[in-house]
Structure 1
Amino acid sequence: MFSCAFLLCGWSVYWQIARNLAERELRKQIEQEARFGRVWTCEKLEFGGYPLSIFVDCAEPNLRVDDDLISAKRALITVRLYAPTLVDIDVSGPAEFRSDTAQSSLDWKSLRISTRGLPRRLDRLSVVGHDMIFRLPESAPSRVEAVHLHLRRTSPVQMAPYGIVLGLAGIDSPLLTQLIGPGNPALLTATGTVTQLDVASRGTWQERAELWSDAGGRVSIATLDLTRDEFILHAEGATGIDRRHKPDGKFAMRVRNAGPALLALAEGAGALKRGTLAGQLALGVLNGPGELKFDVVAENGMLSVGPLRRVLTLPPLY
């Protein structure tokens, strides 16, 4: 009985020490973020989780960057004592995004963000969400049934590239409908790698992007597929950021059964009417099966699509 009481007392002291260290590290990170212009606040902050973990319950978390504000309902951060570098963050919605010129909101059924390796270095990042709804003023909401994003270091050495896996299932968006026409919910999947991410671990977002670009960082997409009914888009390539802070890269595109999508775009723009002779001819051509192949190139601040050279001036990313 005495030994059990001794162990219980010792564990309680250990948990309290770990809890104090966690609070100290959290406040240190918040102060460091504030020095780079990212101000994090909670309406109410509580610690708990005894005996096997430590949780931080942040009510009404806010992130302010200059005049922009991001807020959510709640963030529950959990760290297990047996795996202190594994952090799970469960965020409750809705979240709101406000700036001087725009406002939007995002709601969801569940959203979990997991990291491993911090604060020393990031070894893994996972974002998993379900039943997400994005709203803009005076616009129909966009819905995504499931979101999966996984970023994982490919080897334990410093400066190792990260593997990327992205999946969005059940996409129902007015913007997507404008681009490829109406249909059932779409599916987007992508795999690839990102290099030189370790150099971008400090500073403002602009400073991190600059460090990553100067180090020759690239995002390489091995495969990206967007499918909706019979429409299929496949892309592969790589991109980075040039010295003018603009995208710089090349993607090889393949589009199958694009006829209905192109027809819907032409009709929506008023450039085509099915009842006319030209409309019937275009309908016969566009509704035929086939595959389009072309390159999308961002170079010297300009975007080229297939044979259309320098059709768009790209804005700087930051």
Structure 2
Amino acid sequence: MKKRIIILGSVVVAVIILWSAAWLVLAGMVRQNIEVLASADGVTTPSLACEALGIGGFPFRFDIDCSNASIVSGDVSVDMPGIRASVRVYAPTHMLVSALGPLQLTDSFTGTRNAVAWSGMEASVRLDNWRIARASVSGKDVVWSDTLFGDAVIAQSPVVEVHLFDIPEQHDAERQVAALALFGRAQNVAWPGLTLADTNAEIELELSGLPDDVRNWSDPLVLPALQQAGGELKVVSIRGTDAGSTLDASGALRLDAQGAPEGQIAVTSTGVAERIGPLIEEPWRTLVLGTPAPDGSHANQLNFRAGGIYSGLVPIAAVPPLY
């Protein structure tokens, strides 16, 4: 009996030692992969640099702490006080992320500087065979400010959330394409520049023709592949409401052979034309929202074709090819 206990104890100790060694090796690989991101050029591939990088969570998690993170992509740079990502050993395809604010966003091309602050920001991503099963981001007490001159609040909301869901019935394993549904909402939005207060906004979109492997999304040919796969952005619903106005939009867009969007977006509204009157002069306001009906509501259809946006048959803007 004593011999069996010794053998069992030895096995347990060996397993602990082996797992400890394996965890340290994996943690080292994670660190190395993150540090490689700092050497990216920030143009063709976004770069991520951490002032301090820590890997913890032993024995059943990998907790990645990146303090004073800096992300650069083209002319845009994002600085954050801290990002934490956690992956459980027994659920390696499910990542939990939290972030400290405020986020500082700088565009060196336009010269703009913005900040986004929050009391809580959390995200999660779950994959299924490298296909997104679900991805979510939620923020509390979100405040967006212009910090180029002082600290002027642009908009704020107590609750902002965005969710991505896989659409299983549209997954085509043979063609290796998938589809995603997006749902987002913001509650009690205040936007002083647009004289918005207590505004609720919701958006529902569906995008088909995507590569079913998220590792291929960074391929520079992803948009031509999406076009060839017959991908479509379906605007199921965009809706904004406050005490005195409503705005609804729906429709669908695709990419033509030249990479320009084509399709239609229907827009209906009440009280919006009066709200944006000081911001958009005629005839542009009517070209976008349409002529008023006897009850004061507006309705219009925006058509996208041949690299342009049309209000009915009237061209109102040009859209460059996306590839």
TM-score, normalised relative to structure 1? 0.79
Instruction: Tell me how far apart the structure 1 counterparts of residues 215 and 242 of structure 2 sit (CA, whole Å).
Output: 37
For 2:29, the aligned partner's letter is: R
Q: CA deviation at 1:79?
A: 0.6
CA distance in 1, matches of 2:221, 2:143: 31
Q: Of 63, 72, 86, which aligns to 1:64?
A: 72
Quote the residue 1:112 is aligned against: 122
Structure 1 residue corresponding to 2:210, chosen from 187, 192, 197: 197
The alpha carbon displacement at 1:311 in A equals 1.4
Paired residue for 1:27?
Answer: 32
Deviation of 1:151 (Å): 1.0
2:318 to 310, 313, 316: 313
* Post-superposition offset of 1:314: 2.5
Between the aligned partners of 1:8 and 1:109, the Cα distance in structure 2 is 44
* Residue number among 277, 283, 306 corresponding to 1:300 in the alignment: 306
Query: 2: CA distance between counterparts of 1:84 and 1:100?
Result: 37
Q: Judge conservation of contact 2:23–2:59 (CA < 8 Å) in 1.
A: no
Q: Which residue of 1 aligns with 2:164?
A: 151
Is the alpha carbon distance of 1:205 and 1:9 closer, same or farther for their aligned partners in structure 2, counting shifts above 3 Å?
Answer: same
Note the C-alpha offset of 1:287. 11
* Cα distance in structure 2, aligned partners of 1:142 and 1:183: 9
User: What's the CA shift for 1:83?
Assistant: 0.9
Paired with 1:157 and 1:216, the residues of 2 have a C-alpha distance of 12
Q: Partners of 1:191 and 1:246 in 2: how far apart?
A: 22
| Contact persistence 1:114–1:127 (CA under 8 A) | yes
CA–CA separation in structure 2 for the residues paired with 1:119 and 1:174: 45
In structure 1, the partner of 2:47 is 39
User: Using the alignment, how far apart are the partners of 2:13 and 2:261 within structure 1?
Assistant: 57
After superposition, residues 265-284 of structure 1 pair within 5 angstroms as 265-266=276-277
Question: Which one has a larger percent helix, Structure 1 or Structure 2?
Answer: 1
Whether 1:168 aligns to 2:186 is yes
Check the 8 A contact 1:142/1:174 in 2, yes or no: yes
* SS in structure 2 of the partner of residue 34 of structure 1: coil
SS of the equivalent of 1:263 reads helix
Kindly indicate whether the alpha-carbon contact (under 8 Å) linking 1:263 and 1:286 is maintained by their aligned counterparts in 2: no
The residue type equivalent to 1:62 in the other structure is S
Per-residue CA deviation, residues 30-74 of structure 1 (Å, 9 max, x unaligned), is 647937422211111111112332201111111122443222110
CA contact (8 A) 1:12 1:51 kept: no
* Structure 1: unaligned runs, 5 residues or longer: 272-284
Paired amino acid for 2:188:
G
Identity of aligned residues (%): 18
Letter in 2 for 1:127: V
Deviations 1:183-232 (A, max 9, x none): 42211112232112226743657543444334332211222211111311
Secondary structure of 2:216's counterpart equals coil
CA displacement 1:134-158 (0-9 Å, x = unmatched): 2223554221221211112122764
Q: Distance in 1 between matches of 2:230 and 2:35?
A: 30
**How many angstroms apart in 2 are the aligned matches of 1:115 and 1:104?**
26
Q: For 1:48, which of 56, 59, 66 is the aligned residue?
A: 56
Considering fraction of residues, name the structure with more strand.
2
Measured in 2, the distance between the counterparts of 1:160 and 1:203 equals 12
Assess if the C-alpha contact under 8 Å between 1:247 and 1:299 holds in 2: yes
Kept in 1, the 8 Å contact 2:207–2:232? The answer is yes
One-letter identity of the residue aligned with 2:130: R
What is the CA–CA distance in structure 2 between the aligned matches of 1:287 and 1:195, rounded to whole Å? Answer: 35
Post-superposition offset of 1:241? 3.5
**Aligned pair partner of 2:230 in 172, 197, 216:** 216
Deviation per CA, 1:104-154: give whole Å up to 9, x if none. Answer: 222211111211127833322111111111222355422122121111212
How far apart in 2 are the matches of 1:66 and 1:58?
Answer: 21
1:252/1:79 CA distance change after superposition, 3 Å: same
Retained in 2: the 8 A contact 1:224–1:235? yes
Q: Does 1:263 align with 2:274?
A: yes
| Number of residue pairs aligned between Structure 1 and Structure 2 | 296
User: Unaligned 5+ residue runs, structure 2?
Assistant: 283-290
- Match of 1:10, SS? helix
